[in-house]
Amino acid sequence: MSRPSRVFLIDGSNAVYAVFGPWPETLKEQNRCAWDFISALNEWALSASELSIELVFDGFYRAIPAVNRQRLRVIFSDQDKADSIILERIRSLIYFKEKVTLVTRDRDLAEEARRENAKILDPQKFWNMISQP
């Protein structure tokens, strides 16, 4: 299998909120929004062999829908903030010459990612891109 040429790192809660917000009150509804997002990501990842996706959520592990783990990696930050994990992943990927695009609306995180040479993409634009037929 060839190595993907582009990595999309996604600020999970931030992106899901941007696409499906306002955020539902119940955990069940929040999870439904996240699972809809993950399912769409999985379909998109399966159709594009030149990319991989890393989706980082704040908080502890929760059961997620089945995904192709070679193309879509779902990470939970546990006690850390998702932002610190995202920045660590960007630095590592850039070091190994990967092309990285961060999907977030968090301005501070986006600015730090730009300093590391990652491209930034608004979650709604990303959603429009992956949900095209």
Cβ atoms within 10 Å of 3's Cβ, excluding its own: 8
Judging by DSSP bridges, how do beta strands 99-103 and 119-121 pair with one another?
parallel
**1 pLDDT tier (thresholds 50, 70, 90):** very low
The model scores a pTM over 0.85: yes
pLDDT of residue 133: 62
Q: What is the pLDDT of residues 26-78, one digit of tens each?
A: 888 888 888 899 989 988 888 887 888 999 998 888 777 777 777 888 999 99
Domains by residue range for the chain, with CATH: 6-130 (3.40.50.1010)
